[in-house]
Chains A and B, each alone.
Chain A
């Protein structure tokens, strides 16, 4: 039972950290912020990786591989486009 409670604990604390940090993000950068958080939340890749690579029935591994592809696409395009946009912001 403790496992679930500590997970919920982590969730609540992480949400507060998230709210605190995001609130300070420059309003200029909301579009890159969204692509960055998108890439970060593609951390779901570790779940897909475990399902796709585990010793499981084939059908299940296929579901995992498709999920892995989707997460990987988000990671690659998310980080690249965030950097591409941020490069354009110049002070003068």
Chain B
């Protein structure tokens, strides 16, 4: 009877999870998706908890309470910190999978060696390797995104890095095969702990060479791994519910990774083993063009005379927390009948969809947010392209400079607008360390300074200044 309830609950939870993701196809129904997800989760937890083999309730209550104590503050972080929160949650997902796998292994060794079939043991090894590498890899990503002082944000590379990385992974796999074949050997426990340790080490090594610009892809890949480790746990525990939910998460991470890779014109292997951002080729020679600086007054006049303004936000906008000032400028311009659109590059920011969330937070209606493919044909009609803290995603070099690390990456055609206004914090090149010729074009005017301050000054021109 209890078992039937458990099975029925699992089916109900699976259906609710699929509905939850289905409702994410439009902002109007998306919140319903959250409720469906919560309902599915409650059903699944309840049905597991009432099973007769659960006898120790105290520890469960404490762990759940601790989950709430840590989880609630984590859900209140500023939206600029959402990428690191997401990376941290991948770490927790990986940790849970790795620990449950470890617990099952020692449990079987002590009381149930009949469980050591080749299939379950292989799934368990996959679960532990994926879980632990996701754990440390995601922690590293969290540290880099949070800009923790002792974790270098810049890619760290050294000669023979890929050989070392693959060697560590191969070591873990070899130990895994040994444990699968001889799970009850006297040395099996040590071999198991060894493979867990190597997986933890591999996660760190995997993310060390990755820089900020690649974070959207890396977060998506780690998302996929976290899902797959849940799938492996499902195989170990013989639970269709875990397999399904893990597969949904895994395929979501996979799709996002593919979209991110395409948006950078790079392959998975290239992201993981290519150490983007270290190729800081500063091209000497050729005539050095200089940028033209514009005053805030002049920029405000340009904006006021425009019919169509396209704002192109990048990570710099998030760093400067400038999204609310962007909203004020948006209000001033739309009030004057100027149409304002926001061009969103898929990899703008530090995770998929990051810019959309920041702009939505600033109350900019989502109907004004336009994808790269849709805005590009309109760019020649655009009077002013306002680039805020974006760099590589508007660099025309991506179209033709074959030796550039961003060659072939699809970009937003800011350079085709009639006038370009670019707000930039410093005169240094961007993340990839490449010069951006957009800034020295004949029709480009630079506004140097913190995005929030510059935008604030611009808004003042419209509110109190000479513009009416």
Contact = CB atoms under 8 A, between A and B. Distances in A.
Do A and B actually bind? yes
A61 to B, nearest CB: 6
A14 B248 contact: yes
A18 to B, nearest CB: 3
A19 B255 contact: yes
B367 A64 contact: no
B25, B34, B102 — most chain A CB neighbours (10 Å): B34
Interface string A52-92: 11111101111111111111111111111111111111111
B74 A18 contact: no
A14 B247 contact: yes
Interface of B is mostly: helix
A83 B34 contact: yes
A15 B361 CA distance: 32
Nearest to A25: B24
Nearest to A83: B34
B137 to A, nearest CB: 15
Contacts of A18: 21, 247-252
A44 B252 contact: no
Nearest to A72: B67
Interface size class of B (residues with CB under 8 A): 35 or more
A48 B56 CA distance: 13
B321 to A, nearest CB: 16
A74 B71 CA distance: 7
B95 A40 contact: no
Contacts of A35: 82, 85-86, 89
B256 interface: yes
A14 B248 CA distance: 7
A27 B371 CA distance: 8
Contact of B226 (A7, A15, A41, A92): A41
Given A26-B26, A86-B30, A90-B365, A73 B99 contact: no
A74 B38 CA distance: 12
A48 B255 contact: no
B311 interface: no
A54 B41 contact: no
B31 interface: yes
A83 B71 contact: no
B242 A44 contact: yes
B284 interface: no
Contact of B53 (A4, A50, A61, A78): A50
B27 A67 contact: no
B400 to A, nearest CB: 28
Contacts of A64: 59, 99-100, 103
Given A31-B351, A41-B226, A77 B366 contact: no
B227 A37 contact: yes
B21 A85 contact: no
Contact of A43 (B31, B44, B66, B92): B44
A88 B252 CA distance: 22
A83 B242 contact: no
A1 B49 CA distance: 28
Contacts of B64: 68-69, 72
A75 B9 CA distance: 18
A35 to B, nearest CB: 6
Given A7-B234, A43-B245, A83-B34, A76 B68 contact: yes
A68 B63 contact: yes
Nearest to A38: B89
Contact of A41 (B62, B227, B357): B227
A66 to B, nearest CB: 6
Contacts of B106: 59-60
Interface string B243-279: 1111111111111100000000000000000000000
Contacts of A55: 53, 55-56
A81 B27 contact: no
Interface string B24-59: 111110110110011011001100110101111101
22 contacts: A3-B238, A14-B247, A24-B22, A29-B30, A31-B352, A33-B353, A34-B353, A35-B82, A37-B248, A41-B227, A43-B44, A44-B93, A44-B97, A44-B246, A46-B45, A50-B237, A80-B71, A80-B72, A80-B75, A81-B75, A90-B360, A91-B366
Interface of B: 13, 17-18, 20-22, 24-28, 30-31, 33-34, 37-38, 40-41, 44-45, 48-49, 51, 53-57, 59-60, 62-64, 66-68, 70-72, 74-77, 79, 82, 85-86, 89-90, 92-93, 95-97, 99-100, 102-104, 106-107, 110, 119, 219-220, 223, 226-227, 230-231, 233-235, 237-256, 346, 351-354, 356-357, 360-361, 363, 365-367, 369, 371
Interface of A: 3-4, 7, 10-11, 14-15, 17-19, 21-57, 59-92
Nearest first, the 7 A-B pairs at minimum CB distance are: A72-B67, A76-B71, A30-B353, A18-B251, A41-B249, A80-B75, A14-B247
